[in-house]
Amino acid sequence: MAAWRSCSRVLGELEKTGRPPWIKGIGNLRGMPNQRQRQNFERQIETMAFPPTLPHITGVRADAADRLWILRMGDDSGASRGPIDIVTVDGQYLGTRGDESPGPSLASGPDGIAVFVAPGRKWTFPSSALSDSRSDPVIRPDRAIRPGVWFCLPLLLVAGCAPSAVRSSDRTLFDRDTDVALDVDVRRSMDRNGFTLVDFDYASPDGGRVPALLYEPGAPAAEPAPAILLVHGTPGNRASLHNLAVAYARAGVYVLAISAPWVRPAPYRSWNMIPAPLVNEHDRLELIQLIHDLRQGIDFLAQDRRVDSTRIAVVGHSAGGMAAAILAGVDRRLAACVLMAPTPGWVATMEYNERERPGIPGIERYDTLSAAAKAAWAASLEPLDATHWISRVRGMPILFQGALRDRSVPREDVERLYDAAPEPKSIEWYPLPHRLGRAAFADQARFLADRLGFPVDRFDAPGRM
């Protein structure tokens, strides 16, 4: 509908002035004869694809198999119950119950299946329908659905309506397309003092390229060496933990550092945007893509014959600690994990900044939201909270490093994540600011040397990241 309104507006402008405005994707038509302008624009309109008209949707529920059951209105008055469409949280149509016409009746929007919840309708499934996927659900008027709200599936997973559609224990949330080749493209390799720096990128399973840096030991061991995956915070990029990466490379460890999706311009951001949460459904997509890209990074390291695939660790700082905690619960190939001043999730970060740092750049997007919009955004990100995923770690040692003078991540957030992690785990606190320092880096090197097997005496702890 938005596209159709844009087209109508441009045609109206042509009728009035003969000079159409610039439309993204159509191009600037000024300078062409009026008749030719109109013919050209009408020709493009004819080839545009528009979604079908949406039927009224009166309710959405998830069953025990995490399928979405979407109830349609029976008639224009809303007095009767309509058919029920069944789809997966990924947007795959499974079937329709109570309707003789085959095929999906939902409209597909640019970001997934679009669903409109009509006002004035109340419904729910009985417990038998939720526990037995074969039973035909019966609608009862005992729970109201918030009226007049648009949802995009699977991005918001009907936040505020069915937040349990994707459970925090559902490992498939971070499953990726393993058929996507790494497609490594090396830009340059530079010999430095005691290490080699390789500037390259590789393919993301979710589209686009992953900017990366590989720090190679200057004198590799005869046998396969250990490796570390470094994950930066925000703001930051693949070079943000450079000094730490160099120290590990000089100690005989391969280090891979990538730039997170929130510092890549496409497809949700421009180059001049502050790399803070967008406070919309794209935050969810970017975090999922980051985990996919990190898993590709483990693939990259594991396929390198110079690397021992059984001795790969992940080290994350701040928001990178959040991603590292999720990765530790998702990918069983990791041998150890270090979380430096980690935040449990974007919601905790924004709530803390709004409360304690109201003037910080990037917080204004969150400040402008209504209380209902903030709640919906929080509900959409709740399944991605790092506390859910770190609890799934089995037998892998985790070191938490907290900063007592941290103004970005409060102590209670670090402790909440620590409490969710299983044993073996340990936590150390330092009288340092958010970016920590030499003492913390020396401690984590000793921790990793014990697990990965590299000479810690060759690690020269940097004064800063």
Residues 76, 31: one domain?
A: no
Tell me: pLDDT of 103 over 50. Answer: no
Residues 121, 214: one domain?
A: no
Please report whether residue 465 resides in a domain: no
Q: Residue 386 and residue 325: Cα distance in Å, rounded?
A: 6
Would you list the DSSP string of 146-202? Answer: PSSEEEEETTT-STTT-GGGS-TT-GGGG---TTS----EEEEEEEETTEEEEEEEE
CATH of the domain at 414: 3.40.50.1820
Please report whether residue 171 resides in a domain: no
3-state secondary structure 250-285: HCCCEEEEECCHHHCCCCCCCCCCCCCCCCCHHHHH
Residues 126, 43: one domain?
A: no
Please report whether residue 152 resides in a domain: yes
Residues 150, 195: one domain?
A: no
Q: Residue 257 and residue 267: Cα distance in Å, rounded?
A: 21
Please report whether residue 464 resides in a domain: no
Cα–Cα distances in Å, from 446 out to 230, 271, 451?
A: 17, 38, 9
Q: 387: part of which helix (H) or strand (E)?
A: helix 386-390
Q: What is the pLDDT of residue 156?
A: 35
Please report whether residue 173 resides in a domain: no
Residues 207, 227: one domain?
A: yes
Residues 244, 333: one domain?
A: yes
Q: What is the pLDDT of residue 33?
A: 42
Please report whether residue 17 resides in a domain: yes
Q: What is the pLDDT of residues 249-258, one digit of tens each?
A: 999 999 999 9
Tell me: pLDDT of 70 over 70. Answer: yes
Domain that holds residue 99: 57-166
Q: What is the pLDDT of residue 26?
A: 36
Please report whether residue 174 resides in a domain: no
Residues 218, 124: one domain?
A: no
Q: Which residue has the higher pLDDT, 253 or 176?
A: 253
Tell me: pLDDT of 143 over 50. Answer: no
For the whole model, what pTM was predicted?
Answer: 0.65
Residues 93, 152: one domain?
A: yes
Q: Residue 434 and residue 430: Cα distance in Å, rounded?
A: 10
Q: Over range 16-34, report the average pLDDT.
A: 41
Residues 245, 340: one domain?
A: yes
Residues 214, 247: one domain?
A: yes
Please report whether residue 463 resides in a domain: no
Residues 157, 205: one domain?
A: no
Residues 145, 247: one domain?
A: no
Dig out the tokens for 151 from the structure.
Answer: 């949802």
Q: Which of 233, 275, 252, 261 is nearest to 465 (CA)?
A: 233
Q: How many domains does the chain have?
A: 3
Q: What is the pLDDT of residues 347-357, one digit of tens each?
A: 998 899 888 88
